[in-house]
Amino acid sequence: MNNRQQTDWLCDFEDQPTDAMSNATTTTLYRPTGPEELALVRDSGYKRWPPRLPGQPIFYPVTSEAYAKQIATRWNIGDSGVGYVTRFAVATSFMERYPIEQVGGAEHTEWWIPAAELEQLNDHIVGLIEVIGEYRADTAAALTNTDG
């Protein structure tokens, strides 16, 4: 094996994108979403949220899976027949600039990220955006009866 062959893997590795924040302290965020937004997330390789639509000045990730499930089952299913819950991690140093907002009961807490800052948030996602729940009209009634 010549010298070039021995170091080919090094060159290949160095050309790969790296996540400089992989060792950063992270904050876990949840986001209920419908099929259209999820398709755009999928198109990004599960790495980025799509830009907000006109008339959507704020991106609202929530603080708990339970609240995300509540929104997905009560709103997303009504809008599109299916609701998804996603989970993703963001560098805590970035999220510290946004206070947690309570918008209803004690469990209804979320961050308000201005649409103009969504790309910055995307740049601070650590790892991938995961789909952790899928809910359809036939399962929503059972969830509503057990989730209160």
Per-residue confidence of the chain (148 residues) as pLDDT tens digits? 443 333 332 333 333 333 444 556 999 999 999 999 999 999 999 999 999 999 999 999 999 999 999 999 999 998 899 999 999 999 999 999 999 999 999 999 999 999 999 999 999 999 999 999 999 988 655 554 445 4
Whole-number pLDDT of residue 13: 30
Q: Is residue 33 in some structural domain?
A: yes
Alpha-carbon span 49 to 94, nearest angstrom:
16
Question: Per the structure, how many domains does the chain have?
Answer: 1
Q: Is residue 60 in some structural domain?
A: yes
Whole-number pLDDT of residue 56: 95
Q: Is residue 9 in some structural domain?
A: no
Alpha-carbon span 90 to 25, nearest angstrom:
8
Q: Is residue 49 in some structural domain?
A: yes
Q: Is residue 8 in some structural domain?
A: no
Residue ranges with strand state E in 36-148: 58-59, 82-91, 100-102, 109-111, 113-114, 125-136
Alpha-carbon span 44 to 60, nearest angstrom:
19
Q: How far is CA 69 from CA 53, 59, 83, 94, in A?
A: 23, 17, 8, 25
Judged by DSSP in three states, 132 sits in strand
Whole-number pLDDT of residue 123: 98
Whole-number pLDDT of residue 138: 81
Q: Is residue 26 in some structural domain?
A: yes
Q: Is residue 14 in some structural domain?
A: no
Residue ranges with strand state E in the chain: 26-33, 58-59, 82-91, 100-102, 109-111, 113-114, 125-136
pTM of the model: 0.79
- Where residue 82 sits, what CATH number does that domain have? 3.20.170
Which residue range(s) make up the domain with 122? 19-147
Q: Is residue 85 in some structural domain?
A: yes
